[in-house]
Structure 1
Amino acid sequence: MHARFRIATRFSQVLAIAALGLSLAFPGAQAAERKPAASKKQSQVVAKRAAVKSSAKAQRKAGSVKSTRMAARSAKAPVRMAAEPARLSFGQLAGLHSVSDPLDLKSSVALVIDQDTKEVLLSKNDHAVLPIASLTKLMTGLLVSEARLPMDEPITITQDDVDTEKGSGSRLTVGTTLSRGELLHLALMSSENRAAHALGRTYPGGLTAFVQRMNAKARLLGMTESRFVEPTGLSSSNQSSAHDLATLVNVAHGDSLLRELSTSPGHEVTVGSRVLQYNNTNRLVKSPTWDIGLQKTGYISEAGRCLVMQAEVAGRKLIMVFLDSAGKFSRLGDAERVRSWVEKMHPGSSISLGAAATPRS
């Protein structure tokens, strides 16, 4: 029994020595075993640092993506450039503006005639055939008036009257109903396109018959340099010369209804629950220094600014035609220049400038 005890004691001593050896050989293992809490805290710190680094990386990435998106948007955004120059008119393309004159007119075509004596006081490219824009409505009004159609007849604006040529707008919405007289008033005074188209559409025989009648009337009046394809003037294919237009103004001036409506300063029309105010496109009709008997303005880019008038100046009844004027108010300025010149001119004075030109459509 004592022998067994000695063996057990020796075995315990051997195990103790072995444990001591392991402790000396691997000191970190014992420390790790003694401080598990410290290890857990350290792990949390490491995890927190990793989270911070991950967040910073995510922010940098997000900033990079945002910058990329902003750059992409900048690349897609339209670059602001100088406004494109306006389309050249037919007169500019034909070089008609290169013809100078003593009055320094801004219109490339001009004609001034004494209505009573038929004396030509001023002419500049007066046989050049150009688009005439809304001067067309003077022929439209003449035909409607001469047809003696009932002016109180209601006419409704339809989709057919909407401008598909230039995409211009109108306060006369589809479904609006006005009398023929009101539509004629708006067409001549404020150059209302839908009104003019509705007048042609409701002419006996319809629009086709109306356009045929326009051209027949032009031939009857001796307007050999004129052509019409629709009643508004939105089409650049409606063309004429200053010489022909002076003839049209002379005839139209003989119609009291056209004189009254074309020189009206303004007019109100009731559309549903609304009252619409329309004004004359020619501000000279409101001027006390002018005595205008008939007028019509016109503009599309192909025609430039246009104006025809019958007016009394210095005791003389004059017919004035200005086509293809280069500025918004320059046609009115040309009329003022001519009036001033006529008031100062000596008897027998006249100006004739420029050769005929016929630009292609």
Structure 2
Amino acid sequence: MLGVLMLVSGAVDAAPHAAKGKAHAGKVRKVANRAVRPVPVTEPLRLSFGQAGGLHATRDPLDLKSSVALVVDQDTSEVLFSKNSQAVLPIASLTKLMTAIVVVESRAPMDEMLQVTEEDIDTEKGSRSRLVVGTELSRGELLHLALMSSENRAAHALGRHYPGGLPAFVAAMNRKASTLGMSSTRYVEPTGLSSDNQSSASDLARLVKTAYNFPLLRQLSTSPELEVALGHRTLQFHNTNKLVTNPTWEIGLQKTGYIVEAGRCLVMQARLSGRHLIMVFLDSAGKYSRLGDAERVRRWLESSDAVRPVQHVPSPPVRSPASVS
């Protein structure tokens, strides 16, 4: 009965207002429209594979923000620091290091002009590119852009122009990984946009050591910037790793990577504390935290705490859960 009374009362109260004219009715309608405006629906938080697998809960003595880390002496293979180094995760654009090795070992002419086509457009993540369809650049320029500024269309075009096309290129990538003993590594395409491109920190350390043997890859990956003439325009590309322009770092080779499933990734060869070191950081959550982790490792190496190697007990390897991107 109470509910009925409330409804009747509301109807009675509304009657006098309805007689006050169209202007007031319009005002009421506007207020009503504002009142029922739908609340924007936010997208659910997307997790990296490492986050979904619980790796971010792993603690380490250096308080790194990367859930996977490995520091190895390049000359002696001594492991100085290890954190979840056997976990298998997506590696994003770190893939491009293997892409570059396969391109260089193919001995294809670096001055040969290649064209970017619609086949090179990213349909995996919908990422943007400054290399519009129809762009013609030399193989060397495309390789430079792929390593320095992580240009996806450049990397894809390099694979597509390989003898036998993209399938043969991907097969060559996996064959090279097998030759290097990268037993936890798998490639399905040359850019790293696919989360099915996966590896471990231990495997990636092998990859960095191999890539360092190519002077061209050292030069291109650590180049601060590159100007490219595209018709009547000149575009300037920059290195995705700000540490290459930091005078306190002596970096011999590097590559960054990012997709949601992989988190922020970084591999480097650098000279620190008189040693040639290989550093691998995977699945870092913050935009700049992978660079911060590199700085944390450097401070540790330069301190007295680094007299003896620190090896963190690794967790079981993490295999791909269902895609969260």
| TM-score, normalised relative to structure 2 | 0.89
Distance (Å, rounded) in 1 between the aligned partners of 2:296 and 2:219: 25
1:116 counterpart = 2:93: no
Shift of 1:78: 4.3
Match of 1:220 among 179, 191, 215: 179
Partner of residue 235 from structure 1, selected from 194, 206, 223: 194
Structural mapping, 1:235-314, within 5 Å: 235-314=194-273
SS in 2 for 1:236: coil
Aligned partner of 1:331: which letter? Answer: R
- What SS does structure 1 have at the residue aligned with 2:302? helix
Offset of 1:350 from its aligned partner?
A: 2.3
SS in 2 for 1:353: coil
For 1:162, the equivalent position in structure 2 comes to 121
**In 2, Cα distance between the equivalents of 1:316 and 1:153?**
38
Task: Tell me the alpha carbon deviations over residues 207-247 of structure 1, each in whole angstroms, 9 at most, x when there is no partner.
Answer: 01111111111111110000000000000000000000000
Matched, 1:355 2:306: no
CA distance in 2 between partners of 1:136 and 1:247 (Å): 13
Q: Secondary structure at the match of 1:167?
A: coil
Paired with 2:38 and 2:80, the residues of 1 have a C-alpha distance of: 52
Partner of 1:64: 25
Q: Secondary structure at the match of 2:178?
A: helix
2:301 aligned residue:
342
Structure 1 or 2: more helix by fraction: 1
Change (3 A) 1:71 1:132: same
Distance 1:67 1:247 in 2: 70
- Structure 1 equivalent of residue 66 of structure 2: 107
The one of 154, 168, 171 aligned to 1:195: 154
2:98 counterpart residue number: 139
State the shift of 1:351 in Å: 2.5
Q: 1:130 aligns with which of 78, 89, 99?
A: 89
Match of 1:31 in 2: none
Counting matched residue pairs gives: 303
Q: For residues 183 and 173 of structure 1, what CA distance do their matches in structure 2 show?
A: 13
Residue 164 to residue 78, structure 1, CA distance change in 2 (3 Å): farther
Structure 1 residues not aligned, in runs of 5+? 1-56
* TM-aligned CA deviation for residue 65 of structure 1: 4.0
Change (3 A) 1:198 1:73: farther
Counterpart residue number, 1:182: 141
Per the TM alignment, residue 58 of structure 1 is displaced from its structure 2 partner at its CA by 10
Tell me the equivalent position of 1:171: 130
Partner of 1:357, secondary structure, is: coil
**1:101 and 1:353 in contact (8 A); partners too:** no
1:156–1:353 distance in 2 versus 1, CA, 3 Å: same
How does the TM-score come out when normalised to structure 1?
A: 0.80
1 CA distance for matches of 2:114 and 2:34?
51
More divergent stretch after superposition (148-157 vs 315-324): 148-157
How big is each residue's C-alpha offset from its partner over 1:74-93, in whole Å with a ceiling of 9 and x where there is no partner? 63x44256x55641110011
Which structure would you say has the larger RCO, counting Cα contacts within 8 Å and 6 or more residues apart?
Answer: 2
Conserved? CA contact 1:91–1:97, under 8 Å:
yes
Q: Which of structures 1 and 2 has the bigger CA Rg?
A: 1
Q: Percent identity?
A: 66
- State the 1:68 CA deviation: 2.3
Q: What is the CA-CA distance between 1:280 and the residue it aligns to?
A: 0.4
CA contact under 8 A between 2:69 and 2:281: conserved in structure 1?
yes
Superposed CA RMSD: 1.8
- What is residue 13 of structure 2 aligned with on the other side? none
1:91–1:359: 8 Å Cα contact kept in structure 2?
Answer: no
Q: Structure 2: which amino acid aligns with 1:354? A: P
Residues 132, 236 of structure 1: 8 Å contact kept: yes
Please give the per-residue CA displacement for 1:12-63, whole angstroms capped at 9, x wherever unaligned. xxxxxxxxxxxxxxxxxxxxxxxxxxxxxxxxxxxxxxxxxxxxx9992254
User: Whole-Å Cα distance in 1 between the matches of residues 210 and 149 of structure 2?
Assistant: 21
Runs of 4+ in structure 1 off by over 6 angstroms are: none
CA contact (8 A) 1:307 1:322 kept: yes
Q: Which amino acid aligns with 1:124?
A: K
Aligned mates of 1:172, 1:58 — CA distance in 2: 64
Q: What corresponds to 1:79 in structure 2?
A: 39
For the residues of structure 2 that align with 1:346 and 1:93, how far apart are their CA atoms? 32
CA separation in 2, counterparts of 1:122 and 1:166? Answer: 33
Return the alpha-carbon distance in structure 2 between the equivalents of residues 168 and 74 of structure 1.
37
For 1:155, what is the secondary structure of its paired residue? strand
